[in-house]
Amino acid sequence: MDFTPTEEQEAARRLAGQIFGDLSTHERLAAAGSGSDAELWKALCVAGLVAAVEEVGLLGLVLALEEQGRTTAQVPFAAHCVYGILALTAHGTAEQRERLLPALRAGETVVTGAFPAAEGGVRVTGEGELSGCVPLVPWLRDATHVLVPDATRGLWLVRVADARAEPVETTAPWSAGRLTLEAAPAERVGGAGAYEDVLATARTAFAGLQAGVCAGSLARAVHHTTTREQFGRPLSTNQAVLLRAADAYMDTEAIRVTSYEAAWRRDEGLPYGTHALTAAWWASEAGTRVVHAGQHLHGGLGADVEHPVHRHFLWGRQLDAHLGCGASLLAELGEAIVAEKEAERAGRASQPRPSEGAFEKAAESCPSEGASGQEGVRA
């Protein structure tokens, strides 16, 4: 494994850091409220960062999403790239890619996802028609299309204009909404296994976003504790503060390295389902600890809902439950590991066994010990 970014991936990371750092300031975020930043989204698209995801792969996207998480920038970057560009690149037909990808690269068409699939949530009711309801879809109010999994885990692309979208407010400013489908026309995307691949990609990407959220929260906590004095010395000289910050740093690094590994394996064409679950579990469990620590280390300021660290806390808590909470992810990971082991045992059992007398024939065909055995060694 080599997680060293390529030259293109490192360039995407630097560009993302510059754009998010310049435009996603505390003042702009406060003014935006619960809405998305249209100017920031336009800047990302004009700079070619959205279109570059096809070239830099999932690892490149994870690196860029870390930079978004540091500033909690309010744009549908992760959802659009995962459910739109990467999903169609991997599972769309040649005709779908030719027709849809140009507008996706330019950001003129914005895609989000109604993930994960829920039993009885959405069902196929006719030839290319879907009916059902998804109570919460992040970034729905910004989207023109939604990638919707049905009850049997088939993937469908639906135009928001052909459905009913109602605003839903959450503690995180994701421009979320409720999606209601009533015999809505839909376009099939991919076949068997497409849902599992897109879900694993989404979990990896949002784990990378959580790594950035945690890094931003920790950076603010470090700045506060090193500049704020108590009893004539910085708060950071208190051993309890140091240990809390150190634990948060280790948790953040665990989220980062597991998301890197899952993304790298996908880009290399290797199995990565269990690795994506591992990254998502760390993002859920460790991410919660880190944003709580960041708020706690700010003392009384951490309780101020207008303080920048509070936004990291809200994002961390939302990402904790997004695409599965820690307990459910751990159960799913255990089932996946058991299934892999059973498949390995079945594969070994199905291999042909040597026929009777094969070992004797092999021994007869071996050279004598004097020619290549112990005597030969001594010689």
Mean pLDDT by 10 residues, the chain (379 residues): 86 96 89 84 96 96 97 96 98 97 96 90 91 95 96 96 94 89 96 95 97 96 88 84 95 97 96 96 96 91 86 93 89 92 82 55 49 39
Predicted pLDDT at 378: 39
The dihedrals phi and psi of 112, each to the nearest 5 degrees, come to -125, 180
Q: Is the peptide bond before 76 cis (omega within 30 degrees of 0)?
A: no
pLDDT in the model for residue 373: 41
Q: Name the token pair of 200.
A: 């694993």
CA 228 to chain centre: 35
List, as one string, the DSSP characters of 222-241.
HHHHHH-EETTEEGGGSHHH
Q: Could you tell me the pTM of the whole model?
A: 0.89
- What residues contact 117, with CB distance under 8 A and at least 6 apart? 149, 150, 151, 153, 195
Query: What Rg, from alpha-carbon coordinates, does the chain have?
Result: 25
- Dig out the tokens for 320 from the structure: 């904790």
Q: What is the pLDDT of residue 371?
A: 41
Contacting residues for 199 by C-beta, under 8 A, at least 6 apart:
115, 116, 276, 323
* 3-class SS of residue 189: strand
Short-list 219, 308, 292, CA closest to 30: 308
Secondary structure of the chain: what % helix, strand, coil (to 5)?
Answer: 60, 10, 25
Q: Which run of H or E residues covers position 251?
A: helix 239-267
Place of tokens 């435009």: 23
What are the strands, taking DSSP E only, across 174-226? 177-185, 187-189
Give the span between the Cα atoms of 155 and 191, in whole angstroms.
8
DSSP-assigned beta bridge partners for residue 124: 130
Give me the phi and psi of 237, to 5 degrees please: -80, -10
Separation of alpha carbons 236 and 239, rounded Å: 8
In this prediction, residue 379 carries a pLDDT of 33
Cα 338 from chain centroid?
Answer: 23
Q: Could you give the CA distance from residue 236 to residue 228 in angstroms, rounded to a whole number?
A: 8
Looking at residue 126, its pLDDT comes to: 85
Where b means 16+ CB within 10 Å and e means fewer, 221-233 reads: bbebbeeeeeeee
Residue type, 368: S
pLDDT at 342: 87
Beta bridge partners of 157: 147, 187
Residues 174, 180, 184, 186: is their CA dihedral positive or negative? positive
State the helix-helix crossing angle for 53-71 and 239-267, rounded to 10 degrees: 160
Which pair of tokens denotes residue 282?
Answer: 């760390």
